[in-house]
């Protein structure tokens, strides 16, 4: 491969990686869902008249917010059209007036005109903003009027009373006298500037507007810049974003304490604090549901950004204590002895009992219902409640082989003359299923092992005594054990 070919392959690889990275960056940027300016319709009235039939946007849907900015070249008062609400109207002497109106559309206004009648014959310029994805009921808010005679129309700051921090649509607007010279510049960070001139005649006026979306509680747009000093009037307008519902709930073991549980409405873009509080004996696990905008789903205290209707659940899990001890002759080495608190429900805990020299492990007793094998020194327990367990040990020298296993002296074996008698199997089953499941039973078995060898030796040497022990002692015990088998086997 030539050097040119190698260079070409490297260049193609770099370009491919750059395109892939660009695509990744583009596709991962979330779209704003703040109020959206769907269109701006301009109308200029280049001759003096009292009737100003302002063009409405061609397409208007029911629920859209319509805002009209109307500047007339003079101080003539403007009559508010039927069905519209005036937000503000201010004049700079008798030189220029700026008025602002709004209406929640019914859907029938598209392609029509609305007459804004002035008290005197004047030129005028108008802009109609059609806005979607807004709150739906809260009216837009407007600042106090700012006026001046210079090159820098400066709308007043605005802190809406009806809402707090949210993805608000802010619009800066200025109406000026004349305006036929040059092109204006708009406040910093404001985009989509629109400037509408009534005419190039003597009685002309001009209106400028621009907008931005900003999650802020208040806004001071800054200044426009016009070509020459003229009289002007300016406002700042705020449009509240759509509201979304947050539905919160919890599992057993705790509650959502902030904001509470139920349905709560918030402005789009608002960051809402979340706090989950566990009850005694439980701990918080995580948040589930519509968790895409939760800052940390594993934190009990976190927040969620409201970019839609969300349903979330705080999840809790029970925690249990394990108390462990042992009898003389050994210790519980895993996890140790004492109180071990706060195991999550369902946790499987390893248990290891280690006997001292000269002792052996017998069994686990106490709350042993979820121990995998009560007769194994190394086993485990499933934590489904508060449990207390004991590891039991006995001396090796005091313990003959288990019942009926042969090689050791045992009363039943001596009485029946064989370690494989069916009666001995019944007694062995009762020992394992009942006696060794409790501390008292285990201690009885250990005592029996200790005392039985000399007694068994004495019985084994006399056939009449073996018969007597078998028929008067062992057989009745076996019959009782078998008769109650349905109870203790279940």
Asked whether residue 31 is assigned to any structural domain, the reply reads no
Residue where one domain finishes, among candidates 297, 319, 341: 319
Looking at the structure, tell me whether residues 250 and 297 fall in a common domain.
Answer: yes
User: What CATH number corresponds to the domain at position 282?
Assistant: 3.10.20
Domain that holds residue 165: 36-239
Q: What is the pLDDT of residue 148?
A: 97
Looking at the structure, tell me whether residues 78 and 138 fall in a common domain.
Answer: yes
Looking at the structure, tell me whether residues 232 and 303 fall in a common domain.
Answer: no
Three-state SS for 326-367 is ECCCEEEEECCCEEEEEEECCCEEEEEEEECCCEEEEEEEEC
Asked whether residue 326 is assigned to any structural domain, the reply reads no
Looking at the structure, tell me whether residues 213 and 81 fall in a common domain.
Answer: yes
Neighbours of 367 (CB within 10 A): 17
Looking at the structure, tell me whether residues 172 and 256 fall in a common domain.
Answer: no
Looking at the structure, tell me whether residues 254 and 226 fall in a common domain.
Answer: no
Task: With CA atoms as reference, report the closest residue to 446 among 390, 389, 400.
Answer: 400
Instruction: Compute the mean pLDDT over every residue in the chain, rounded to the nearest whole number.
Output: 88
Looking at the structure, tell me whether residues 166 and 286 fall in a common domain.
Answer: no
Looking at the structure, tell me whether residues 171 and 311 fall in a common domain.
Answer: no
241 vs 48, 67, 162, 263, 363, CA distance in Å?
Answer: 38, 15, 11, 19, 68
pLDDT digits (tens, 9 = 90+) for 131-176: 999 999 999 999 999 999 999 999 999 999 988 888 899 999 999 9
Q: What is the pLDDT of residue 49?
A: 96
Looking at the structure, tell me whether residues 295 and 234 fall in a common domain.
Answer: no
Looking at the structure, tell me whether residues 217 and 71 fall in a common domain.
Answer: yes
Looking at the structure, tell me whether residues 131 and 267 fall in a common domain.
Answer: no
Asked whether residue 141 is assigned to any structural domain, the reply reads yes
Contact 188, 200 (CB under 8 A): no
Residue where one domain finishes, among candidates 279, 302, 319: 319
3-state secondary structure of 484: coil
Q: Looking up tokens 């802009």, which residue turns up?
A: 127
Give the count of domains, the chain: 3
Asked whether residue 391 is assigned to any structural domain, the reply reads no
Kindly state the percentage of the chain with pLDDT values over 70.
90
pLDDT digits (tens, 9 = 90+) for 429-482: 887 788 777 777 777 777 777 677 778 777 777 888 888 888 888 889 888 988
Asked whether residue 381 is assigned to any structural domain, the reply reads no
Residue where one domain finishes, among candidates 190, 216, 239: 239
State the DSSP H helix or E strand holding residue 103, giving kind and residue range, or none if neither: strand 96-104
Looking at the structure, tell me whether residues 137 and 52 fall in a common domain.
Answer: yes
Kindly state the percentage of the chain with pLDDT values over 90.
68
- Which residues does 460 contact at the CB level (< 8 Å), separation at least 6? 409, 414, 466
Could you give the dihedral angle defined by the CA atoms of residues 456, 458, 462 and 463, in that order, rounded to the nearest 10 degrees? -10
The pTM of the full predicted model, rounded to 2 decimals, is: 0.61
What are the two backbone dihedrals, phi and then psi, of residue 116, each rounded to the nearest 5 degrees? -105, 105
pLDDT digits (tens, 9 = 90+) for 296-350: 999 999 999 998 999 999 999 999 999 999 999 999 999 999 999 999 999 999 9
Asked whether residue 25 is assigned to any structural domain, the reply reads no
Asked whether residue 445 is assigned to any structural domain, the reply reads yes
Residue 249 pLDDT greater than 90, yes or no: yes
Asked whether residue 44 is assigned to any structural domain, the reply reads yes
């Amino acid at each position: 491969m030539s050097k040119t070919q190698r260079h070409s392959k490297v260049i193609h690889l770099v370009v491919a990686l750059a395109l892939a990275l660009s695509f990744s960056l583009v596709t991962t940027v979330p779209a704003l869902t703040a109020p959206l300016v769907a269109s701006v319709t301009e109308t200029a009235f280049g001759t003096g008249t009292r009737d100003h039939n302002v063009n409405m946007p061609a397409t208007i849907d029911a629920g859209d917010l319509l805002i009209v900015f109307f500047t007339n070249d003079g101080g003539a008062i403007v009559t508010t059209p039927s069905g519209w609400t005036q937000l503000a109207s201010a004049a700079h002497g008798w030189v220029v007036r700026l008025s602002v109106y709004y209406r929640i559309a019914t859907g029938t206004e598209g392609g029509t005109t609305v007459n804004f009648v002035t008290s005197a014959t004047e030129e005028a310029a108008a802009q109609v903003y059609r806005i979607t994805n807004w709150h739906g009921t809260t009216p837009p808010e407007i600042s106090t009027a700012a006026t001046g005679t210079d090159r820098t129309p400066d709308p007043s700051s605005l802190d809406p009373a009806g809402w707090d921090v949210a993805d608000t649509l802010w619009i800066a607007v200025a109406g000026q006298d004349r305006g036929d010279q040059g092109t204006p510049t708009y406040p910093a960070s404001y985009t989509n500037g629109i400037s509408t001139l009534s005419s190039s005649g003597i009685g002309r006026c001009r209106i400028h507007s621009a907008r931005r979306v900003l999650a802020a509680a208040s806004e001071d747009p800054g200044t426009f810049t016009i070509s020459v000093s003229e009289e002007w009037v300016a406002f700042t307008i705020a449009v509240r974003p759509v509201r979304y519902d947050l539905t919160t709930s919890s599992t057993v073991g705790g509650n959502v304490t902030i904001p509470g549980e139920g349905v709560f409405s918030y402005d789009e873009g608002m960051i809402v604090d979340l706090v989950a509080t566990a009850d005694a004996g439980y701990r918080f696990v995580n948040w589930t549901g519509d968790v895409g905008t939760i800052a940390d789903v594993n934190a009990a205290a976190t927040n969620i950004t409201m970019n839609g209707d969300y349903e979330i659940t705080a999840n809790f899990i029970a925690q249990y204590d394990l108390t462990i001890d042992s009898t003389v002759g050994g210790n519980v080495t895993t996890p140790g002895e004492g109180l071990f608190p706060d195991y999550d429900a369902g946790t499987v805990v390893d248990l290891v009992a280690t006997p001292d020299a000269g002792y052996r492990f017998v069994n686990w007793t106490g709350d042993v219902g979820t121990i995998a094998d009560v007769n194994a020194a190394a086993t485990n327990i499933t934590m489904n409640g508060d449990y207390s367990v004991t590891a039991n040990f006995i001396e090796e020298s005091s313990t003959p082989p288990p019942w009926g296993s042969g090689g050791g002296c045992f009363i039943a074996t001596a009485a029946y003359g064989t370690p494989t008698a069916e009666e001995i199997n019944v007694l062995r089953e009762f020992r394992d299923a009942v006696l060794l499941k409790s501390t008292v039973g285990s201690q009885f078995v250990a005592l029996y092992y200790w005392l039985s060898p000399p007694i068994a030796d004495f019985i084994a040497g006399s056939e009449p005594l073996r018969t007597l022990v078998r028929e008067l002692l062992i057989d009745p015990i076996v019959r009782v054990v078998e008769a109650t088998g349905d109870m203790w086997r279940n």
